[in-house]
Copies of this chain bind each other. A is one copy, B any other.
Amino acid sequence: MSYFCADHLRNHTKMEDKEVNSQDQILPVDGLGWSYVDGVLHCDGMSLEDLRMSLKREYGHQSSPAHVYSLSTLFANVKKYTEALGPLGKRGVLSYSLKANNNLRVVEALRQAGVTMATTVSGNEILMAMKAGFAPTNIIYNGTGKRRWEVELAIRHRVLLNIDSEFDARLIMGVAKETGVMARCLVRLNPDLEAHTHPYMATALADSKFGVEVQQLEKVLQIVRTGEIEGEEEHVDIEGLHIHVGSAVSRTQVFADMASVAARTLHKIRERGWPRASLINLGGGLNIRLSGGHGKGEEDSDNLATPQKLVGAVLPLLPEGTTLLLEPGRSLVATAGVLMTEVLGTKTNGEVTFLVVDAAMTEVIRPALYGAHHPVTHVTVPSDQERTEVDVVGPVCESGDFLARRCQLHPRLPTGTAVVVWATGAYCSSMASSYNMRPHALEVMVRAPDLYTVVRRPGNFEDLISCYQ
């Protein structure tokens, strides 16, 4: 990791002299780390204009686009959960879902901010969580299609496994017997709950591939039970259960519904032979608040579920002695990241004006894949008030390559001007592709007004051809 203690940035960050958040710019996300100072977007007190000049000196044309993370926002997002879970003491556990953003330094930062566990969905994510400093026993491995080597890795390291189906139960049993190591498990229940989110983000509908249906639960518990032959050592310990409704959930009631189902199921698991089972793992991420957006599933702030409201709704429904585990992903990291990108040009075809930038669907696929809206704003607010509606698109040869539609931006932004795409901290870098042979974008983390670190070097042509023997 390279540290840049940017002396030359110091002169530009005397916050006290400057006007913060001019009425011209409303920040699209809640987040302590972001502010407009004298019309320039700042991250944790650092001017993004200064940051990109510094990156350009270091990396040339590889410096854009760049994912920029705000360390203070990561910490603030974690704090909302740890404070909400506070009343539960050690019985309130926060686990981070790595798939939202698996950048090693982001995961490390979240651990340092107070996240105690990591939820993973593959063998490589287990390895990454360990690399980021999580104890293997504080890792959860979740997935509909686990492979043998992944299950063996998890069991040998005493990672907690979610049993997702009958065939998954058999695989876990088999590996546990073979290795002679007791498998620590939760059962993942599919409660058939409507999460009111995009179909691709919903995971608990009856027809979803995830988890064990309520009516199949007995069967799965029986598979695990009958695998234990009289007199032989136990191979699988069931420590509790997992329910996941999907990503971007806005309604607190969804979590209360999950908790009710979870409480009944925990009772059943205890009765069936695991009296010490006590962990309820409620998955499903909270939606984030974006202003100025017109995406689907956005709720106004009064109704938006917060960690506080979530825990408040769930707490009264938990059986005594239960440990509550929450595993957010997007709501911890989305607002901590923006994608900074440079204007290549403006063109009008038909009725539409296009702002062509150097970022693309390769860095942010959520608009094309889910119809998600990511607001785009200027890094430096143009001094005149002229604004026009533009579609922000990238260089990828594909009509699906758009970053945001109908944004209000200045109509004549010169080539090289920077804009930011908001809320790209989640499901952007981790879903990136190298389509059109675009290497992975640079990622930086701002740690203080005069300190940033490069947390992922930019990809290059050599990376893209290293696979050819």
Contact = CB atoms under 8 A, between A and B. Distances in A.
B469 A2 contact: yes
Contacts of A457: 467-469
A144 B139 CA distance: 44
Given A122-B438, A399-B201, A431-B433, A349 B461 contact: no
Interface residues of A, number: 98
A315 B344 CA distance: 37
Contacts of A463: 466-467
Nearest to A102: B437
A147 B105 contact: no
B439 A468 contact: no
Contact of A146 (B368, B395, B466): B395
B61 A203 contact: no
Interface string A20-43: 000000000000000000000000
A99 B432 CA distance: 16
Contacts of A166: 345, 347
A146 B338 CA distance: 23
Interface string A421-462: 000000000111111111110000000000000111101010
A182 interface: no
A465 to B, nearest CB: 7
B167 A345 contact: yes
Interface in A111-128: 121-122, 124-125, 127-128
Contacts of A145: 344-345, 356-358, 360, 393-395
Contact of A209 (B171, B199, B391): B391
Copies in the complex: 2
Contacts of A468: 1, 104-105, 455-457
B125 A345 contact: no
A125 B436 CA distance: 7
Interface in A335-369: 344-347, 349-352, 354, 356-358, 360, 365, 368-369
Contact of A349 (B127, B213, B438, B467): B213
A399 B200 contact: yes
Interface in A162-204: 164-168, 171, 190, 192, 199-203
Contacts of A168: 345
Contact of A345 (B165, B199, B394, B430): B165
15 contacts: A98-B437, A104-B468, A122-B438, A143-B397, A144-B356, A144-B393, A147-B358, A167-B346, A192-B350, A205-B350, A209-B354, A209-B401, A213-B349, A455-B468, A463-B467
Instruction: Kindly list the 9 A-B residue pairs having the minimum CB-CB distance in the complex, ordered from nearest.
Output: A145-B395, A167-B345, A206-B350, A200-B400, A124-B437, A207-B350, A165-B347, A145-B356, A433-B433
